[in-house]
Structure 1
Amino acid sequence: MSVSIFDSFLTTSDMIAVFDDAAIVQAMFHFEQALSKAQADEGLLPAAAARAIGAVCKAQLYDIGAIVSAGRRAGSLAIPLVKELTRTVALYDAEAATHVHWGSTSQDVIDTAMVLATREALQLLDDGLHDFCGHLLALAERHLCTPVLARTLMQPAQVTSFGFKLVGWLAPLVRARARLRECAERALQLQLGGAVGTLAVMGERGPAVAARMAADLKLRLADAAWHTQRDEWVRLGLEVAVLTGSLGKVATDLSLMAQGEIAELAEPSGNGRGGSSAMPHKRNPVSAMIALAAATRTPQHAAALLASMGQQHERGLGNWQAELAEWPALFLSAHGALNALNDAFAALVVDPARMLRNIDALQGLVFAEAASIYLAGAIGRPQAHALLEQLTQQALASSRPLAEVLRDAVQADAALRAHIDLSQLDALFDPVAATAPARRLAERQLQALRTSSAALDSVHPFTK
């Protein structure tokens, strides 16, 4: 397919190649070859005719640009393709040419070609997810006890574990990998129905032809033609959109944590990566940028798939064609985002010291809730909450750590001194100790995610 320079900036050459003109045309020829062979095996046409047809089902023999151009005028890419295939077969075997595309229809060949291309696209996504989930797993295990600020509504909230945050990025991606496979198992199916989906021309042998074709192309045999039953197909596309949204979430957090004022993470640098044309000091998070741009475009493509589902009667007018045009864009964006983040996380710079400095810069205020809960055991929850509100204001006004202000308040109050263990109070302000709840949850999740990832790695569903 032809993409603009800016489209190509947000995807990969590998995914472009999956949906380019030559690849789709060749996939259509695979359909025609499988159709003639299956029909010959069922006695619907001579074996010699099937061999003659199959021998010239090679995209490199044809002027693909001319076929695409003619397809625009004809209203379907299949019409000029079948015409050129018939003409070429006739050069060698005039009788065999009469059997080309027999009993099939344009949507059969195009839908099946898109299924074959999509299987290749899913393999690229699955490979990329394998790598990215591996990066996140390794980082999460390494940083289970690394304190970092958790932020809610864009404001500092509490101390969490960076490993826990990484698990939060990882879990949706492991689920996405599994759900893409589940949806693909149903959606990657042969399309064969003939003019109105009834296989009327092939008569009673139609289902057997379909079964042979599905086996040959290694596709699921559909219960019936799905010319306007697009539910399983669209559901697969929407799962790709959800994956891209999850990648956008990772990119969002990465970009925020890489801001100069935060500087807890940084993408790899060197070889001109992330530079500025005007400011030599800048280190731009280009992987996050690509992933965010790709994710920003995805909802519109997903909405177009849903909008195209109301197809008329047995064959759609306009909406099926819109779906075809939107479909590759979902995969281009998803793989672009995934590839960009793999580049970043393969050599991600994590700065635990800066994470600690960002915690310390808040004067211990992020530990106020833990301190309040501890004090509640001595003076009750309402009084403890009110006291901590007052003390946090004092800490801010005096630019002193909350731990010092709280310690002074306890020592100045005989009732508090009698019930408060100052060593336990001080421990509440230890950033590493504060990661314990997050670490325990992350360890449990990591065990399950490792198991799920290993199970996914052991099966290769998109292998031809």
Structure 2
Amino acid sequence: MPVSLFSSSIHSPLFADDDLARLFDDASDVAHMVQVERALAIAEGSLEIIPADAAHAIAETLQNLRIEPADLAEGTRSAGVPVPALVSELRKQVGGAAANWIHWGATSQDIIDTAMILQVKVALGLQSARLEKLIDTLERQSERFATRLMAGRTRSQVSTPITLGYRIAQWAHPLIDAEAALPELRRTVLRVQFGGASGVNAAIAPAGPAVAEALARELDLAAGPSWHVNRTPVLAVAAWLQQVSAGLAKMAGDLILLGRSEIAELSSGTGGGSSTMPQKANPVQSETILALNRIVIAAQAGLASAGSPLEERDGSVWPLEWHFLPQMMIAVGTALTHAQMLAETLVANETGLDGTLDAHPELMAETASFVLARHGVPRAEAKKLVGDAATGSSPFLESLKSALDLDVDWDQELSLQSAIAPASEMSKQIFARRPRR
């Protein structure tokens, strides 16, 4: 079995995303830590915390510097983090007196956490673009199928008629909420971490806040107090990723159910063949989204366990973030790509949809009970009369007509078409919550 579905040469084409996998690989980790060290030197040089010529030499040397991740392995095994080995290598590369000013006033966590936030910033940009595209596609499909009636289902049983357009709008609903949450998420998360050994910048006091501000400007992040033991940024990202993943899983799960052989109301995706049954087209993309959602759930639990570090730094939980956050990012990015394909290839099986509606005239039972109530039949009695008609041996409509002598145009009152207007209105309300660009 693979160590990870995201790095397996067999499984990664299905479960992984190349762009996000590269963003969180070893080379990217090192490159972003070097970027932070370089920005720190520039920031401190601009404030005359370190000599300007040293800052210039560090910035010039580190600008296009590439450090092999393997060169940091032994130092990481010894120190528990790669930064001491990285700083040693950077000092060799810069050389001279300037080398002494690298990493001035910083600690390993400042470099690792800020580098992670830079990676998260790029990842959120990728996720945001994919999310926007998917919601756009779902909105178009919702409008396309705005009048296509189908059976609603609650707790696995047919309930009342809805439209396919409304069902699609409900797939988009949690994704629209996630899209709307992104600006606040970025404000919460995209912040530098700079606190020194114990978080109070004692080594360079009282210049710590000024350095943090300058470092934030250099990296295009926000500044603020040290958050080295306040893991709200990581937990907030994880919660947002879970929100997106849950929404995608809702869509995928519905498509699996509606594509079942005995239901066959919708189809989407490319389908996957069976090793022995030539007639099958397995819902591979939908199944993969559900599998990825379960990975996201497990990873979020791992991150939650890292959310309460002890004292001023806790080496036993900090590595959990390095392990689980990339998994969540890759899983959600891949799921968004699969969901996009499902949304684009969605096909309504008219025969299957109409067959379900025809087979269940009791879909209008709720409406029938309210019609009776409006004509003076007590609610409890109306419910019983409709229930008897729905479960009796005679056709539903005939049973209703014979149960009571009422002046009711049952054909008009129980027309399935009456569901279209409220379903369309609700769909419009859902998509109206999106800020228009």
Offset at 1:307?
1.4
Shift in alpha-carbon separation, 1:151–1:38, aligned structure 2, 3 A: same
Q: Secondary structure at the match of 1:157?
A: strand
Match of 1:260 in 2: 261
Q: Distance in 1 between matches of 2:347 and 2:89?
A: 55
Q: Distance in 1 between matches of 2:199 and 2:421?
A: 60
Match of 1:184 in 2: 186
Match of 1:328 in 2: 326
Q: Deviations over 1:248-304 (max 9, x none)?
A: 1111111111112111211133xxx52223222212222211110011111221122
Q: Deviations over 1:356-391 (max 9, x none)?
A: 2111122x0211222222233154333332222222
Q: TM-score, normalised by structure 2?
A: 0.93
Q: Distance in 2 between matches of 1:389 and 1:237?
A: 46
1:444 corresponds to 2:432: no
Check whether the contact 1:26–1:58 (CA below 8 A) recurs between aligned residues: no
Aligned residue among 4, 11, 27 for 2:8: 4
Offset at 1:425?
0.2
Q: Distance in 1 between matches of 2:275 and 2:65?
A: 43
* Number of equivalences: 431
Q: Secondary structure at the match of 2:152?
A: strand
Offset at 1:69?
4.9
Q: Distance in 2 between matches of 1:59 and 1:71?
A: 23
1:22 corresponds to 2:16: no
Q: Deviations over 1:308-367 (max 9, x none)?
A: 1221111122111222221111111111111110111122112244212111122x0211
Check whether the contact 2:30–2:67 (CA below 8 A) recurs between aligned residues: no
Q: Secondary structure at the match of 1:420?
A: coil
Match of 1:245 in 2: 246
Offset at 1:145?
1.9
Q: Deviations over 1:29-68 (max 9, x none)?
A: 1101111111111112222222222233257632222224
Check whether the contact 1:22–1:59 (CA below 8 A) recurs between aligned residues: no
- Greater Cα shift, 27-36 or 197-206: 197-206
Amino acid at match of 2:7: V
1:430 corresponds to 2:415: yes
Q: Distance in 1 between matches of 2:227 and 2:429?
A: 43
Pairing 1:356-435 to 2, within 5 Å after superposition? 356-362=354-360, 364-376=361-373, 377-394=375-392, 397=393, 401-407=395-401, 409=402, 416-417=404-405, 419-421=406-408, 424-435=409-420
Check whether the contact 2:229–2:312 (CA below 8 A) recurs between aligned residues: yes
Shift in alpha-carbon separation, 1:393–1:347, aligned structure 2, 3 A: closer
Q: Distance in 1 between matches of 2:400 and 2:115?
A: 70
Identity, % of aligned positions: 31
Offset at 1:118?
0.3
Q: Secondary structure at the match of 1:158?
A: strand
Q: Distance in 2 between matches of 1:382 and 1:42?
A: 78
In the alignment, structure 2 segments of 5+ residues that lack a partner are: none
Aligned residue among 74, 80, 93 for 1:75: 80
Q: Secondary structure at the match of 2:206?
A: helix
Q: Secondary structure at the match of 2:147?
A: coil
Check whether the contact 2:272–2:284 (CA below 8 A) recurs between aligned residues: yes
Amino acid at match of 1:77: P
Q: CA RMSD in A?
A: 2.0
Aligned residue among 65, 69, 83 for 2:70: 65
In the alignment, structure 1 segments of 5+ residues that lack a partner are: 411-415, 459-464
Match of 1:201 in 2: 203
